[in-house]
Amino acid sequence: MKKYLLPSIKLTIVLIVLFAVAYPLFIAAVAKFAPGKGDGVTVKKDGKVVGYALVGQNFTEDKYFWSRPSAANYNAASSAGSNKGPSNEDYLKTVQDRIDTFLVHNPGMKISDIPAELVTASGSGLDPDISPRAAEVQIPRIAKARNISEEKIKQLVKENTKGPLLGLFGPSTINVLQLNVALDGLK
């Protein structure tokens, strides 16, 4: 074994320098040219940072579009999913509670109007998006809370909808934070 030990140690040191020092430094240097300079892309409102574009936030007020439920309470220093199994009775009660809360805040909506994503927790606990359908069911509530016409909000949702990649691949999404920032900008 001794024959192999010295080359092992020396080769290890060389490769640590290559992979743990040179490689990440090189990527960090290239990322300086990327949006956000490799620090993450922030969203500003009136010149003040209100969040990261890719990281979801918690919204509980009626005047905002709500994001999905989160097992991490939208704290991006400790991402987490619920890890609840599909047959877990306690979990199903939690979902039922979320349905009830949603109906209280959105009078006039039926249970069958609610898409499941609004009452189930995301994988990361930081899901920044909702689907167009999940935005649609919230429009009447927001229109009432803000005293703006539903048409105007519908238009805003449409403008903030990101279609499938190249129109061909993947689902349509809406970034909730950016939509709400735009909503605050409506007069």
Q: Does 186 sit near another protein (CB under 8 A)?
A: no
- Residue 129: φ, ψ to 5°: -115, 160
> What span, in angstroms and rounded, lies between the C-alpha atoms of 43 and 93?
35
| DSSP codes joined into one string, 154-172 | HHHHHHTEE-SBTTTBS--
Q: Does 144 sit near another protein (CB under 8 A)?
A: no
Query: Which residue in 46, 49, 107, 147 binds another protein (CB under 8 A)?
Result: 49
Q: Does 28 sit near another protein (CB under 8 A)?
A: yes
Which stretch in 40-48, 140-148, 150-158 sits in contact with another protein by CB under 8 A?
40-48
Q: Indicate the residue among 60 and 147 with the shorter CB distance to another protein.
A: 60
> What span, in angstroms and rounded, lies between the C-alpha atoms of 122 and 118?
9
Identify residues 7-26 at the interface with another protein (CB under 8 A): 7-12, 14-16, 18-21, 23-24, 26
H or E element that contains 140: helix 139-146
Q: Does 185 sit near another protein (CB under 8 A)?
A: no
Q: Scan for tokens 């500003």, then name that residue.
A: 44
Q: Does 38 sit near another protein (CB under 8 A)?
A: yes
